[in-house]
Amino acid sequence: MCAVFILVFISLCYYNFLSINILERKLQTLIQTTVDVTKRFHGFYINADSKHYDEGVHFEKIDNGELGIIVKNSGDIHQLNNGMSQLKNEIEEIIGSDLLWTVAVIEKANVAGEVTHFLPLREAYISLDESRHSRNSWISRTIAGESIDKSYRIFNENNVRLTEPYYEKGSSEYIRSILYPVYIDKEIQAIIIVDFKNALIETCINKYNKENHTTLELTDVNHVFSYRFSLPHSITKEKNYISWNFSNIIIQALLFTIIIIIIINVVISFYRKTWKDYYYDSMTGFYRRDHYEPKLNKMTHASVIICDIDHFKSINDTYGHDVGDMVIHEVTKRIRKSIRDTDIAIRWGGEEFVIILPKMKCNDLIHKSEHIRKSVSFGKINEISVTISLGCTHQNPGENIISTLKRADKALYQSKSLGRNKTTFL
């Protein structure tokens, strides 16, 4: 069992180690897919119609919630209702509605100054907006804090950002944000923001563990069994590591070991039962004739004893077959005790048995046969006196075992002719 446990434990450790890279790719794909969906909103934004809004906070009813718009100064601003509703729906399909926090757009309106669209608009955002001192402080602070270029520079330059986790006052949530800048005439015009709960990472890890029976976990500790992973569009030096939980692996290894041991025992028991049923006679425990007879042809220098229960038909007729079976069982039990484990005992017929022994001297073979005869007749079986007759012989050099068996059978016939309960050697 110890060897099985060690093998299972090492296998689980290796399996978890290989799973870390797969999990990292899943996390990266999750973030990148969210970014790709966010990018598609870019085309909608630059082609959206405009509508006049007065200064203040406005709410627009949409299919999946209420869009909040904070306007600093009255003027025409983009109508983003339908686009933001669709963006929210698509991102929820990727990361789940319970983990998406907010979809927002901050834009520089021509007259209205900085305008913010929130789906949903939370009290924390209103308070944060009221605390700003300059009209463009929100965008300016985001550009500076995440190192986003104010002006579009070269093709394929990555200005999308994934922020570090941050604590959002008012909601008491730890949030990460995807920031996608929108450039018009080479100048930043708006920032599309997707806020999601930082728990998304651990949720993804837990889901992977459940689906793949791994014990991976997020940690900020670097050790020999941890692996640092990266997320796309992150420019910070976060120390995020994935490692496996050793205590859980030990528990898993113990459970798997127990299951494997149970399966092995079941298979062995089934095999032994099948093997026993195929090779051995169920009543006597001796080899079955149909199984062992073909093997006899390969034998040389063997000694053979054939024994038969005396007057067995009379026992069956007088006491019934159940008692007859009991007599056979007890007789073969006594025979088994009288021979060695290496000797071969075969149920040759209903009440007839063949014993194959390594070649013995004549006196030894007769002595063994007599010992068997006396052990059977000693003591009644179910209040019935039972005896056996025996015939024994040696296999001659070059002689086929079948001929030897015929000679032993002839010796048995002589024992019966002489009055039974006798041993004859030929």
- Specify whether 329 is located in the same domain as 198: no
- Specify whether 209 is located in the same domain as 313: no
- Specify whether 217 is located in the same domain as 306: no
Mean model confidence pLDDT for the chain: 86
Residue 169 banded pLDDT, cuts 50, 70, 90: confident
CA 368, CA 359: separation in Å to the nearest integer? 12
Give the pLDDT confidence of 310-320 residue by residue, as tens digits. Answer: 999 999 989 99
Helices (H), 110-192: 123-130, 137-145
Residue 423 banded pLDDT, cuts 50, 70, 90: very high
| 383 falls within a domain | yes
CA 371, CA 335: separation in Å to the nearest integer? 9
Give the pLDDT confidence of 187-231 residue by residue, as tens digits. Answer: 888 899 999 999 999 999 999 999 998 999 988 877 777 888 888
CA 279, CA 261: separation in Å to the nearest integer? 26
Lowest mean pLDDT among 216-220, 275-279, 308-312, 393-397: 275-279
CA 70, CA 62: separation in Å to the nearest integer? 16
- Specify whether 196 is located in the same domain as 323: no
Rg (CA), the chain: 45
Has residue 292 got a pLDDT over 90?
no
- Specify whether 230 is located in the same domain as 329: no
Across the range 238-259, mean pLDDT stands at 86
Has residue 425 got a pLDDT over 90?
yes
Q: What is the 3-state secondary structure (H, E, C) of 36-62?
A: HHHHHHHHHHHCCCEEEECCEEEEEEE
Lowest mean pLDDT among 73-77, 111-115, 169-173, 302-306: 111-115
Across the range 45-65, mean pLDDT stands at 87
pLDDT of residue 393: 93
- Specify whether 87 is located in the same domain as 150: yes
| 272 falls within a domain | no
- Specify whether 77 is located in the same domain as 192: yes
pLDDT of residue 130: 55
pLDDT of residue 151: 65
* Enclosing H/E stretch for 68: strand 65-71
Residue 299 banded pLDDT, cuts 50, 70, 90: confident
- Specify whether 229 is located in the same domain as 304: no
Whichever domain contains 311, its CATH number is 3.30.70.270
- Specify whether 293 is located in the same domain as 240: no
pLDDT of residue 410: 94
Three-class DSSP category at 260: helix
CA 247, CA 253: separation in Å to the nearest integer? 10
How many domains are contained in the chain? 2
Has residue 372 got a pLDDT over 70?
yes
Across the range 248-267, mean pLDDT stands at 89
CA 217, CA 206: separation in Å to the nearest integer? 8
Give the pLDDT confidence of 100-147 residue by residue, as tens digits. Answer: 999 999 988 665 578 889 999 887 777 665 554 444 456 666 766 666
pLDDT of residue 184: 84
**Start-to-end C-alpha separation, the chain:** 54
Across the range 244-262, mean pLDDT stands at 88
| 279 falls within a domain | no
What's the sign of the alpha-carbon dihedral 124, 196, 85, 117? Answer: positive
| 280 falls within a domain | no
- Specify whether 199 is located in the same domain as 134: yes
Percentage of the chain with pLDDT > 70? 90
Across the range 73-78, mean pLDDT stands at 86
pLDDT of residue 246: 82
| 275 falls within a domain | no
Q: Which of 98, 118, 99, 105 is closest to 42 using CA atoms? A: 105
- Specify whether 204 is located in the same domain as 339: no
* Enclosing H/E stretch for 300: none
DSSP for 328-339, please give it.
Answer: HHHHHHHHHHHS
Strand 166-168 relative to strand 173-184: parallel, antiparallel, unpaired?
A: antiparallel
Has residue 173 got a pLDDT over 80?
yes
| 273 falls within a domain | no
Domain endpoint, select from 246, 273, 305: 246
Give CA angle at 36 (31, 38), nearest 5°.
Answer: 95
Residue 398 banded pLDDT, cuts 50, 70, 90: confident
- Specify whether 220 is located in the same domain as 330: no
Domain endpoint, select from 246, 276, 308: 246
Q: Which residue has the higher pLDDT, 169 or 140?
A: 169
Angle between helices 2-46 and 246-279 (to 10 degrees): 120
| 282 falls within a domain | no
317 touches 328 (CB < 8 A): no
Q: Which domain holds residue 319?
A: 287-425
pLDDT of residue 112: 55
Q: DSSP character for 132? A: -
Whichever domain contains 119, its CATH number is 3.30.450.20
| 277 falls within a domain | no
Domain endpoint, select from 222, 246, 270: 246
